């Protein structure tokens, strides 16, 4: 398994991955499918990073990061979203991907990494806790899906 930044030719694979993940996931935001030109725009955005987990020439996971863009927060980064293909979940892929992303951010001198997660998203919360993220805040009822309310946890990791 390899963790790498997305490349120009990944647009189609990434769109397929995102739709495969969003079909099965209950606690993520509903997003329109990404068009190849939008992937390319994101790839070239100076404040964003997109990493993928590749296995046997297929993309099985992704992680997007937003970098602090001001002098005051240039030492921070936010994990915006991540996902692993449903048939590969709960086999350690999420951990391989996110630990590699944290390592890359460390090498770029990032000191504070934050993220938000729906509190009922047990696999995601467990993954983040297992890599050292701690809950630093909770926004009550900030996520509503099919009429069901959930809290959003704010988590941070100091590296």
Ligand X SMILES: CC(C)(COP(=O)(O)OP(=O)(O)OC[C@H]1O[C@@H](n2cnc3c(N)ncnc32)[C@H](O)[C@@H]1OP(=O)(O)O)[C@@H](O)C(=O)NCCC(=O)NCCS
Alpha-carbon distance 49 to 136, whole Å? 24
Interface with ligand X includes 28 (CB under 6 A)?
yes
Which pair of structure tokens corresponds to residue 66? 């937003």
DSSP for residue 106: H
Q: Applying CB under 6 A, which of residues 17, 102, 127, 153 lies at the interface with ligand X?
A: 127
User: Is position 50 an interface residue for ligand X (rule: CB under 6 A)?
Assistant: no
Q: Give yes or no for residue 111 binding ligand X (CB under 6 A).
A: no
Of 3, 25, 67, 102, the one binding ligand X (CB under 6 A) is 25
Element (H, E) at 13: helix 11-24
Q: Which residue is nearest to ligand X, using beta carbons?
A: 94
64 close to 73: Cβ distance less than 8 angstroms: no
Q: Are 49 and 68 in contact (CB under 8 A)?
A: no
Among 84, 102, 153, 157, the residue binding ligand X under the rule CB under 6 A is 84
Question: How many residues are listed for the chain in this entry?
Answer: 159
Q: Indicate whether 123 belongs to the interface with ligand X (CB under 6 A).
A: yes
Residues 128-157 that bind ligand X (CB under 6 A): 130
List interacting residues with ligand X (CB under 6 A): 21, 25, 27-28, 81-84, 89-95, 117, 121-124, 126-127, 130
């Amino acid at each position: 398994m390899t963790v790498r930044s997305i490349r120009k030719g990944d647009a189609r694979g990434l769109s397929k991955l995102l739709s495969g993940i969003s079909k099965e996931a209950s606690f993520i935001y509903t997003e329109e499918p990404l068009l190849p030109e939008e992937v390319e725009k994101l790839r070239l955005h100076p404040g964003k990073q997109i990493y993928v987990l590749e296995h046997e020439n297929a993309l099985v996971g992704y992680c997007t990061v937003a970098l602090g863009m001001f002098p005051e927060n240039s030492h921070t980064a936010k994990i915006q979203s991540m996902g692993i293909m449903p048939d590969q979940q709960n086999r350690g892929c999420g951990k391989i991907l996110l630990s590699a992303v944290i390592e890359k951010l460390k090498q770029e001198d990032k000191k504070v990494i934050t993220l938000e997660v729906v509190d009922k998203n047990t696999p995601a919360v467990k993954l983040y806790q297992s890599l050292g993220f701690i809950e630093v805040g909770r926004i009550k009822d900030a996520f509503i899906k099919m009429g069901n309310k959930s809290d959003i946890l704010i988590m941070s990791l100091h590296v």
